[in-house]
Every structure is written in structure tokens, then in C-alpha cells.
Amino acid sequence: MVKYQGKGVYGAVAVGKVSVFKRQDVQVKRFKIDHVEGEIVRLAAAKKKAIEQLQDIYDKALKEVGEANAQIFEIHMMMIEDDDYNDAIVEMINGQSVNAEYAVAVTADNFAEMFASMDDSYMQARAADIRDISNRIIACMTDSEGNHSVSDEKVIICADDLAPSETVSLDKDKVLAFVTAHGSSNSHTAILARNMNIAAIIGVGEEFLGRIKEGDMAVADGYTGEFFLNPDAVTLAAYEKKQKEEVEKKALLQNLKGKENVTQDGRKINIYANIGSVANIGEVLLNDAGGIGLFRSEFLYLENNDYPTEEEQFKVYKRVLESMATKKVIIRTLDIGADKQADYFNLEKEENPALGLRAIRLCLTRPEIFKTQLRALYRASVYGRLGIMFPMITSVSELEEILALCEQVKSELDTDNIEYSDSIELGIMIETPAAAIISDKLAPMVDFFSVGTNDLTQYTLACDRQNPQIERFCDTHHEAIFRLIEMSVENAHRHGAWIGICGELAADISLTETFLRMGIDELSVSPSFVLKVRDKVRKIDLSK
Ligand code: PEP
Ligand code: MG
């Protein structure tokens, strides 16, 4: 067995035989021509044929991946007609009296290089598109089609890279996965693979191409980006199990997608998803979550070697909000410290870090870091429905200090004439016993509560959540925790605030009915649990 690590661009698991993508490599030679006009006529005929082919591919893509994704082929048709591109080719034919194929190939290289050298990763990925259309025109001139035919068996397609048109032209019903040596996650190939619901891994590196043989067994894990060539029995069995679970999940998805989170007797709740990065949004949408109930923004800090700037943060928050469109997005402010450490914060070593300078305590101690994040959040708020949530609250005075800082940020943005939404919801996490006990005082100050059962359990039961030795003392179903949650629900509702749960307990379906009976309004869980919880909610009858 050999394992390769790439980047998963569509989360699905595939187990099967590999098929090496064959492309008829057209060798373009340069030769002198006598009749320049004749060459330009040949070029025009090839372009016409290429456009006809692209129209067919567009029609296929329209059916398989929808209009938005099929658009790339309309763009390809337009690129073929692009004046700059055509002028460059014709100038070369005229100026150097060379054959049209050669002029197209050289122009393609020049344009692709120009795109590849741009700073913007989206523009860089356009280099593949220019090569794709140029190869098509050349193939039309040389009458080589170069289409890869797939055997009757479903296979894992392995290639150096795949052009968008090659991806769509493959018979989707015969492809288990796409695995490429190169490629970027912004490429249209990656986008198309995602929309074709086919496991896809890119960038596993050049070496794998030299090793794979037609018909080798392989496993492609589009979630983790792992590719196992000739897997051993243990790996194979583990992945066959994972695949079976996926099939069950897909069936559940088909059944429950688009359905309401409503009990038999008509009680509705929101089921949102927890994420740690923009990369998780695909999963959130795929699993039909009603919103994002917890975006752990600290990962943005943990993934960096230095404080993320306001601009960097703004871009991330904007992207999450835009992607979720009209759905609610609750972004939790920095919860660093304790088990989540970043060197550049230069935090002193503490005896009891879980009881130390973490989360909101750190933000209030170093307000410049906090204000940078708040500015980025407020600026991004105009791009969607934002909720801002503060972690590790224990007192009214902390919350007063936070709200004062929010007002300060707003007035600074006003001075700078920078827009922000006036309907941002502000909320706090209930993850310390203190917060639950004084929830009657905290509730009137906020729009919502979200119970962090992971920390609430740790702090209520005095059980370090990191310590496996005491796991048996750490009863997540302890009555004390339920009493604190119940108390928080009553106080939230009495003061017009809504309340959700975003700790791991939210996904525990043995408790869903208990939470609904308490009056919980929202459960926020890992994306892959959304439909399981929906399923559970729909089976509950609170009237019984
Ligand atoms: C929690 O404490 O329950 C929670 C959701 O926050 P985290 O797990 O990130 O501490
Ligand atoms: Mg917590």
C-alpha cells in the first residue's frame, strides 16, 4: 500500500479500480506556410467546430451540474472569440508565416503564463481554462479528439490534471472519483467535481502518476485528501465501512433535505452547524443546515503565524456571510488560551490555563486585538445576517465592557464613514456555571444565549476536559448541567432572548427531546449531524 496526501475538494469516499486518464497528446510542430489567408480560414473553421463542441458540453453540464456551473463553458466559448487572444494568434500567423496550430499553442502558453503570474488565486486558475480552449482548437485542426473512454466498470480517474471540459465530458455514472497530481481548489475542475457529487482529490503530487497502473485498487478519501494505492485489507475494510455509512447518510439526506425541523405536534426549532473555517461551508450547505450557530473564529488565529489583520479577517467573515446568503451566521469572537495556544500571543505559562487568561478575558486584557476583530466583524455584517457571540462570560461587568467596546467600534466606523448592519444580533455563550446562575441579569443585555456544554460540563463538574483519566467522573448527563441549562432557558425567554446549544451535547439525540421540552430554540452541531438531529426532532411528539 502507498499513501498519498492531496487536497480533498469534494468530501466523499471512493473504493475501486483506477483508470489512468489518457489524453491524446498532440505534438504541435512549427512550419512555414505560403498562404497566410488559407491558414486563417483553417483557424476560423477550427474555432467554429470548437464552439459547436463546447455548446454540446455546455448542454451536458447544464443537465449535470446546473446553470451556474455550466457557465464556464459559455465563458470558454467567449474566450475563443476574445479579441486579444485572436489578434495575438492572427498576428503571429501573419507576421511569422507560421501554421495556425503553432500560433494557437504559443499564444496559449503566453496567456496561460500571464494568468499564472497574477497575484489573485482565482485569476491564476484561469491559466487552465486558456490551455483547455486552445487544445480544443488545435485538436479540431488536427482532427484528434483525445477523449478518454471509460470502461463499463466504475473507476477512479487518475490524471496529471483535468481540464473543465474533460471533467464534464467523462461519463459521470462511470466515475467513482477524480484524483489529480496537480490542480488548484479554485479551478473549475474542482468546482465541477464538487457539483457532480464525485469524490475529488487534487495535488497528490507527480510521483503517483509513475506508480499507478490501469486496474490497480485504490481508495480516495475526498474528506481528508488521502489516496491509498493498493490498500491493505485493514484500510480497505475501514473504507468500505465508511462508504456504507455514507450511503446511509445520503439516503437520509435525500429524505430529509429541505424538510422542516418540526416535531410531530408542530414545535419548530432551528438546527444550525458548527464550523471552524470557511472550508467547512460546503458541508454546511450540503447537509442543509439552517445557519451557522458557531463559527470558532480562533482557528483563523491558530492557523496563522501572526495576528490576522482586520482586512484578512474581514475577507473571511464576508465570505462566510455571503456564502450563507440569508441564513444566520453566528461568529464567536476569539476563544484562545487553555488548550488553544498560538505562540505569537506570547502568553505566560499558567498553573491552571483553563481557569486562566482565555477567551474574553484575553480580549478584554488586550483590547487592541479584540477591537481589530470587532471592526472586521462589523464591516462584514452588511454581507449577510450576522450574530456575534462572546465566549467564557462570567459576569455582568464583563458584558458591559464588551458592549461599550462594540459601541466604540461602531462610532469609529461612523467617523470613517464605513457601513455596518444595524441588525447584528449580540449574544453570549453560557459555558460557565456563573453565567447560567446570573442568566436573569445577562439575558436583558443580549439577543441570544448559546450553551457551550463542553466547557459548562468542565467547569460545573470540575473535570478537566483534556484529561482522559477522569473521564468516568465527567458525566455529561449530570443533573447539575441540565438544571443550569433549564435555568438559562427560563431566563432567556423571560427577557425575550432566544437560546441554543452549540456544545457537543447538542448532537446527542438521546437528549433532543429533553432539550425541546426545556424550550431550547436552536441546536448547533457538526455539519454531518444536522440531518440526524432533524430526523430525531421529526420523530418526537411533545404532546405525549
Ligand atoms: C463549548 O464549550 O461547549 C463550546 C462550544 O466551545 P469550545 O468547545 O470551542 O470551547
Ligand atoms: Mg467553550
User: Which of 194-198, 220-224, 309-313 is predicted most confidently?
Assistant: 309-313
Instruction: Identify which of 295, 333, 502, 522 to mutate to test ligand 1's pocket (most ligand atoms within 8 A of the CB).
Output: 502
For ligand 1, residues with CB inside 6 Å are 294, 296, 335, 431, 452-455, 502-503
Query: How is domain 2-20+149-234 classified at the architecture level of CATH?
Result: 3-Layer(bba) Sandwich (3.50)
Question: Could you tell me if 130 and 80 are in contact, meaning their C-beta atoms sit under 8 angstroms apart?
Answer: no
| Residue 455 CA, closest ligand 1 atom number | 2
Contacts of 267 (CB under 8 A, 6+ apart): 516, 542
Q: Look at domain 36-142 and name its CATH class.
A: mainly alpha
3-state class (DSSP) for residue 359: coil
Q: Whose CA is nearest to atom 4 of ligand 1?
A: 452
pLDDT at 148: 56
- Average pLDDT rounded to a whole number, residues 495-523: 97
Question: Could you tell me if 387 and 502 are in contact, meaning their C-beta atoms sit under 8 angstroms apart?
Answer: no
pLDDT at 186: 61
| Window from 142-146, 306-310, 331-335, 385-389 with minimum mean pLDDT | 142-146
CA distances from 256 to 172, 201, 212, 434, 457 (A): 25, 28, 39, 38, 31
Question: What pairs with residue 200 in β-bridges?
Answer: 10, 178
Instruction: Identify which of 332, 362, 431 to mutate to test ligand 1's pocket (most ligand atoms within 8 A of the CB).
Output: 431
Angle between helices 453-461 and 479-494 (to 10 degrees): 120
Q: HEC states along 444-496? A: HHCCEEEECHHHHHHHHHCCCCCCHHHHHHCCCCCHHHHHHHHHHHHHHHHCC
Nearest-10 Cα torsion for 179, 239, 510, 299: -40
Share in percent of the chain as helix, strand, coil (round to 5): 55, 15, 30
Overall pTM > 0.75? no
pLDDT tens-digit profile of 1-43? 999 999 988 878 999 999 998 776 677 899 999 999 999 999 9
| Residue 503 CA, closest ligand 1 atom number | 3
Residue type for position 398? E
pLDDT, the chain, mean: 91
Contacts of 84 (CB under 8 A, 6+ apart): none
Q: Strand 217-221 and strand 13-20: pairing?
A: antiparallel
| Residue 451 CA, closest ligand 1 atom number | 3
Length of the chain equals: 544
pLDDT at 334: 97
pLDDT at 153: 85
Q: Whose CA is nearest to atom 3 of ligand 1?
A: 452
Q: Where are the domains of the chain?
A: 2-20+149-234, 36-142, 264-539
pLDDT tens-digit profile of 438-451? 999 999 999 999 99
Instruction: In the chain, count H helices and then E strands.
Output: 20, 16
Q: Which ligand is nearest to the CA of 505?
A: 1
468 or 146: which leads in pLDDT: 468
**How many C-beta neighbours within 10 Å does residue 96 have?**
15
Question: Could you tell me if 208 and 157 are in contact, meaning their C-beta atoms sit under 8 angstroms apart?
Answer: no
Going by pLDDT thresholds of 50, 70 and 90, the confidence category of residue 188 is: low
Going by pLDDT thresholds of 50, 70 and 90, the confidence category of residue 520 is: very high
Q: Which ligand is nearest to the CA of 451?
A: 1
Residue type for position 433? P
Q: Whose CA is nearest to atom 9 of ligand 1?
A: 296
Contacts of 415 (CB under 8 A, 6+ apart): none
CATH of domain 264-539: 3.20.20.60
pLDDT at 491: 98
Q: Do domains 2-20+149-234 and 264-539 have the same CATH topology?
A: no
pLDDT tens-digit profile of 460-508? 999 998 887 888 899 999 999 999 999 999 999 999 999 999 999 999 9
